[in-house]
């Protein structure tokens, strides 16, 4: 070992151990094929940045568009017959033409018509308003309760079994109770959303607080952070990802609940619209409503996820 | 009566309740550390080194015994005993600067905003991390994160600096670079340091004293070897030094002959 080190100072590095230094003078021709492999292809001229973006966009959207088109085609082929008892896409388009092309009937920037003759977007907006109120309550109260049971072992033992039981109660089962408490359709719908959406918010926030790594708690202890500093500097940032998981599930559940609630209570909203179209045997209108509900629910989920990313970054 | 040392651990016993009865981690440990001394604590895994360090930090309460720091009884964690954690424990949602800033804000009472900012930057400069002040821990390598961890600890102006296997998770070359950083800082600040390590060379190179612990349970201090090497020490010079070799020899003998790794004996 020592000998190898001393020789390496005077002569250029020899080959692998055991090969005498002077054999390295034999020149082995470099294979032609290898040389050609080492010639690089000319770098392609960069295409216009807008073009690159368009390509990326098309790559992301085209598969979905293709799939939707294929599904519509299959649906049309299956239900296109004259004696089919389920409407085909073309039939939906012709029979619910008015609903599809005039969603904003009766809706202005400031108000939604009161007389019931409202386009589908009007119903959606009414429902969204209710969701916004009910969901806000469940977000605020849910996060507060989640932090409480995440932080205090006593509160956890006292409340967690309760929450675990209550969260399995389906939204509609709350309706009679809700109506009994509030007597009116409006507040009881909002309560229904609140009581449906709050559980995932509570439980995920609590899990987030309980899972704050020991390392961060130790840092807080060594720095002697007071409870308020600990809350703002450690607990909130460490819990945000869990919290927003709960808030995302919550917003989805509140959207589920409102449709169910409005179907029973009637008057306005997208749930009422579906119930109404069913009673009027306008199945095509129901299909249009389903598409709207799906898209709006998807949007709500994306909005909450986006807010979560923004909050987690700051 | 004998004068009490700057950091004095007196009859420290730590016991944990377990399902099979009481587990005694540390048994009547007595350790005196003078101001400005750099003490390395070495021993096999599970011998209670971290428990001892946590007791000094105030994160673990000893079952019996008292720890004095400059005459004050230690009974809770506090910024006067800054800890460099093995896993660096930087807060991932804060930038490097904000991580150090959090510690400075808790310790630099009465300073203006600008003074605090300068102090943060000064400490980042000591570990050569000013260039990454605006980055988040996730963007840094393991060695860089630990540099920031060290900066955060020394920025608190601690009365004693506790290092819990600070370089345990780093590769050998990064570890050597960080050991140099620690030696440089120690030469400038002359902190009182208690450092846990697994690495014999690290212990002998950095420390004025190597405290060797017996295997747990009921670990005790087995041997206490002073490393009489002058400072500043240079890695390449000390390896040929007889005192360095002797100290190294003593530690290795302790760890691998007198108190072999219990798991190695079992195997």
pLDDT of chain A along its 314 residues, tens only? 444 444 444 444 444 554 555 556 778 887 877 777 777 777 777 778 888 888 888 888 899 999 999 999 999 988 887 787 888 888 888 888 777 877 777 677 667 666 556 788 888 888 999 999 999 999 999 999 999 999 999 999 999 999 999 999 988 888 888 889 988 888 888 899 999 999 999 999 999 999 999 999 999 999 999 999 999 999 999 999 999 999 999 999 999 888 888 877 767 888 888 888 888 888 888 899 999 999 999 999 999 999 988 887 76
In whole angstroms, what is the distance from residue A260 CA to residue A131 CA? 12
Q: A243 CA to chain B: closest CA distance, Å?
A: 15
In a domain, A305, yes or no: yes
Q: Does B72 touch chain A (CB under 8 A)?
A: no
Question: In this complex, is the C-beta atom of A215 within 8 Å of any C-beta atom belonging to chain B?
Answer: yes
> For residue A59, what are the domain limits?
53-86
Q: How far apart are the first and last CA of chain B?
A: 48
CB count, 10 Å around CB of A249? Answer: 18
The answer to whether B12 and B64 are in contact (CB under 8 A) is yes
A237 vs B79, B81, B93: nearest CB: B93
Same domain, A166 and A252: yes
Size of interface A-B (CB pairs under 8 A): 41
Is the distance from CB of B38 to CB of B166 less than 8 angstroms? no
**Do A224 and A273 fall into the same domain?**
yes
How do residues B101-123 score in pLDDT, each as one tens digit?
999 988 877 788 899 999 999 99
In this structure, are A155 and A221 located in the same domain?
Answer: yes
Could you identify the residue written with the tokens 């987690």? Answer: A312
Q: A236 contacts in B (CB within 8 Å)?
A: none
Q: Are residues A72 and A169 in the same domain?
A: no
- Mean pLDDT by runs of 10 across the 267 residues of chain B is 82 89 88 92 87 92 92 90 91 92 85 90 91 92 92 92 90 91 90 92 92 86 87 84 90 85 60
- Which A residues, 237 through 256, put their C-beta within 8 Å of a C-beta on chain B? 237-238
Assess whether A121 and A225 both reside in one domain.
Answer: yes
The reply to whether omega before B232 is within 30° of 0 (cis) is: yes
In B, which residues are within 8 Å of A216 by CB distance? 89, 91
Q: Are A219 and B89 a contacting pair at CB < 8 A?
A: yes
On whether both A80 and A121 belong to a single domain, the answer is no
| Shared-domain flag, residues A170 and A285 | yes
Tell me: do A57 and A144 sit in the same domain: no
> Would you call A312 an interface residue with chain B, using a CB distance cutoff of 8 Å?
yes
Asked if A115 and A249 sit in the same domain, the reply is yes
Indicate if A278 and A147 belong to the same structural domain.
yes
Nearest CB to B78: which of A224, A234, A237?
Answer: A224
A244: in domain: yes
Q: Distance (Å, rounded) from C-alpha A188 to C-alpha B267?
A: 69
Q: How many CB atoms within 10 Å of residue B241? A: 14
Number of domains in chain A: 2
A55 C-beta neighbours (distance < 10 Å), count: 11
């Amino acid at each position: 070992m020592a000998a190898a080190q001393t020789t390496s100072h005077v002569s250029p590095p020899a080959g692998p151990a055991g090969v005498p230094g002077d054999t390295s003078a034999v020149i082995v021709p470099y294979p032609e094929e290898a040389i050609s492999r080492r010639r690089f292809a000319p770098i392609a001229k960069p295409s216009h940045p807008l073009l690159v973006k368009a390509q990326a966009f098309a790559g992301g959207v085209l598969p979905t568009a293709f799939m939707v088109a294929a599904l519509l085609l299959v649906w049309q082929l299956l239900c296109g017959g004259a004696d089919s008892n389920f409407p085909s896409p073309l039939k939906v388009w012709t029979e619910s033409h008015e609903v599809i092309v005039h969603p904003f009937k009766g809706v202005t920037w400031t108000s939604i018509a009161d007389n019931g003759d409202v386009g589908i977007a009007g119903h959606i907006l009414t429902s969204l308003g209710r969701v916004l109120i009910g969901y806000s309550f469940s977000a605020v109260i849910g996060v507060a309760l989640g932090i409480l049971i995440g932080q205090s072992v006593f509160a956890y033992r006292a409340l967690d079994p309760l929450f675990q039981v209550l969260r399995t109660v389906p939204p509609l089962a709350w309706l009679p109770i809700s109506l009994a408490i509030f007597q009116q359709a409006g507040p009881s719908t909002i309560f229904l959303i609140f009581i449906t959406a709050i559980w995932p918010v509570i439980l995920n926030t609590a899990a987030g607080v309980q899972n704050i790594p020991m390392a961060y708690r130790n840092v807080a202890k060594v720095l002697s952070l007071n409870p308020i500093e600990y809350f703002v500097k450690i607990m909130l940032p460490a819990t945000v990802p869990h919290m927003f998981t709960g808030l995302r599930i919550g917003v989805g559940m509140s959207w589920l609940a409102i449709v169910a609630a409005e179907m029973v209570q009637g008057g306005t909203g997208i749930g009422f619209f579906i119930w109404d179209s069913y009673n009027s045997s306008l199945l095509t209108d129901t299909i249009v409503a389903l598409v709207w509900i799906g898209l709006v629910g998807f949007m709500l989920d994306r909005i909450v996820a986006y807010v979560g990313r923004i909050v987690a970054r700051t | 009566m004998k004068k009490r040392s700057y950091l004095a651990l007196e009859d420290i016993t730590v016991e944990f309740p377990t399902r099979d009865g009481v587990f005694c981690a540390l048994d009547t440990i007595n350790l005196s550390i003078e101001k400005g001394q750099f003490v390395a604590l070495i021993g096999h895994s599970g011998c209670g080194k971290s428990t001892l360090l946590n007791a000094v930090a105030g994160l673990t309460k000893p079952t019996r015994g008292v720890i004095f720091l400059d005459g004050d009884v230690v009974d809770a964690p506090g910024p006067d005993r800054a800890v460099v954690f093995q896993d660096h424990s930087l807060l991932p949602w804060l930038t490097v600067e904000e991580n150090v800033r959090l510690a400075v804000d808790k310790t630099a009472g009465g300073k203006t905003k600008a003074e605090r900012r300068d102090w943060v930057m000064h400490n980042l400069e000591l570990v050569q991390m000013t260039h990454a002040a605006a980055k988040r821990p996730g963007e840094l390598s393991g060695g860089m994160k630990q540099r920031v961890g060290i900066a955060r600890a020394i920025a608190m102006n601690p009365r004693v600096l506790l290092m819990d296997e600070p370089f345990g998770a780093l590769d050998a070359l990064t570890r050597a670079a960080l050991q140099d950083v620690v030696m440089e800082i120690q030469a400038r600040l002359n902190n009182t340091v208690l450092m846990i390590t697994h690495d014999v060379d690290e212990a002998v190179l950095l420390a004025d004293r190597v405290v060797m612990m017996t295997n747990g349970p009921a670990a005790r201090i087995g041997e206490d070897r002073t490393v009489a090497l002058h400072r500043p020490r240079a890695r390449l010079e000390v390896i040929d030094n007889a005192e360095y070799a002797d100290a190294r020899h003593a530690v290795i003998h302790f760890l691998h002959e007198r108190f072999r790794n219990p798991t190695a004996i079992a195997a």
